[in-house]
Amino acid sequence: MRTIFLLITFLIASASYSFAQYAYFPNYGEIQYEKTIFVKNLLKRYVGMMEDENVDMFTRLSNEVPETVVQKSKLAFEGDKYTFEEFDEDFSGTLGMLKGSGLLGFLSTYQVDLASGTSERLFDFVGQNVIIEDSLQNITWKLTDEYREIAGYECRRANGVVFDSISVVAFYTEQIPHSLGPNTSHGLPGAILGYVVPQLHFHIYATKINVIKPTFATINAKKAERLDHDEFSRIIKTNFGNFFTGKLFDYFLSIIFL
């Protein structure tokens, strides 16, 4: 009888310990991501929207680039604040030109305050440091019953729409109950560990989660011009409006802001 009692006690203690492990929700930490851009497909979409002499140039460029490129990034969070830092990759030749022109997006550092619903984003625009001050984008989410494991965490799929017409797919985990994600993606009951944007031909997946006191990225505002979303859109229109017209211009803006 004593043996049975000890066995039951051990099983209950083991179950409680396992549950406690599973139920531990970190309030801070760092998430490492990798972003894969399908460059050839991206350029083919550009070509499909063009109606001028640039078609031949972009067709040639699409033959010179690899199928994909990978960019690494880190999200550091604590409470309602987080930073998202994209790391520079040594792209040369055609890829370097595409990166410099913003066609692969601008390498950025984000500071996000979920409580106030605001963000700051620093990046280099044509040799000038720019900080975009903005409210967090509104994403309409619909949860699904699809699950997958990412970086050791169980994640649930959610389908979303941003900028009224861009479809996105997110995989979030409630084991990290903070409404955060790559760039400024948010609005789900857990951290987004997978983020897919088919129309822009990229996806971002977490590769490692460290439950440690985070090292936050900093935004050096020295000599940086502060603009809001609309002001920067007008500058983009002035600098690139003759090169990207119609739907192509709107698509270019989506890459920059998403």
User: What is the per-residue pLDDT across 1-56, written as a single tens digit (0 to 9) for each?
Assistant: 445 444 434 443 444 434 334 455 779 999 999 999 999 999 888 888 876 667 88
Q: How far is CA 207 from CA 33, 72, 159, 210, in A?
A: 5, 10, 21, 10
- Rounded Cα distance between 66 and 103, Å, is 15
pLDDT tens by residue, 203-216: 999 999 999 999 99
Mean pLDDT of the chain: 86
- Rounded Cα distance between 9 and 7, Å, is 5
Decide if 128 contacts 140 (C-beta within 8 A). no
3-state secondary structure of 157: strand
Query: Which residues have C-beta within 8 Å of that of residue 44, sequence separation ≥ 6?
Result: 62
- State percent of the chain over pLDDT 90: 54
| Cut 0.85: pTM above it | yes
Count helices and strands in the chain by DSSP H and E runs: 6, 12
Ramachandran angles phi, psi of 242, nearest 5° = -80, -20
